Structure 1
Amino acid sequence: MKSWIIICLKNRNGCGWPREVSKYIWDNYELELKNSGDILYTWQYDLRWAAQQLRYEGILKPVNGRRDLPWELAK
């Protein structure tokens, strides 16, 4: 899921709101999500967890607990 976030943000000039990233992932990876078993029911939670991991890795800019900032590639 981390790679999907990166691909989405690169397609959006490095920045996007979580709802935009979710829509992109659903529009482009719906079949993979539906065929993944239980992830179909948790994928939006998993997406946010993956974004947090990307922040820890320095790939996404930190948001410091704020919800009024988009997800943005650090590099």
Structure 2
Amino acid sequence: MATKHDLTEWVIEGLNALGGEGNVAEIAQEIWERHEDDLRASGTLFYTWQYDMRWAGQNLQKAGKLTKLYRSWRLK
């Protein structure tokens, strides 16, 4: 079952698929396309995953792995 911790990896995976940079909606779409089944089977995470994805992005920024720009996120 997917957890909030998986979202960190999935954000990176989504950004890589987008060439290293994308806006939140594009990243969410990439995550959904790759992990829809995981999300549907994740219990309450299914209802919060887009919110939790933003927290994963914040944690990646604090770890120095991601830069948040005005309208997009970029891998470092």
What TM-score do you get using the length of structure 2 for normalisation? 0.86
1:34 Cα deviation from its structure 2 partner: 0.6
Question: 1:9-68 CA distances to partner (integer Å, 9 max, x unpaired)?
Answer: 1121110000000111111101100101000000000000000000000000144xxxx3
Distance in structure 1 (CA, Å) of the matches to 2:31 and 2:68? 21
Q: How many residues align?
A: 70
**Residue equivalent to 1:15:** 21
Report percent identity of matched pairs: 39
Does the CA contact (< 8 Å) of 2:8 and 2:56 recur in 1? yes
Rounded Cα–Cα distance in structure 1 between residues aligned with 2:59 and 2:8: 8
| TM-score under structure 1 length normalisation | 0.87
Residue matched to 1:60: 66
Unaligned runs of 5+ in 1: none
Matches of 1:69 and 1:19, distance apart in 2: 10
Give the ranges of 4+ consecutive aligned residues of structure 1 lying more than 2 Å apart after TM superposition. Answer: none
Q: How far apart are the structure 1 equivalents of 2:38 and 2:73?
A: 23
CA–CA distance in structure 1, aligned partners of residues 68 and 41 of structure 2: 32
Report the counterpart of residue 74 of structure 2 in structure 1: 72
Question: Partners of 2:53 and 2:31 in 1: how far apart?
Answer: 9
Deviation at 1:69, TM superposition (A): 2.5
Please, which runs of 5 or more residues in structure 2 have no aligned partner?
A: 1-6
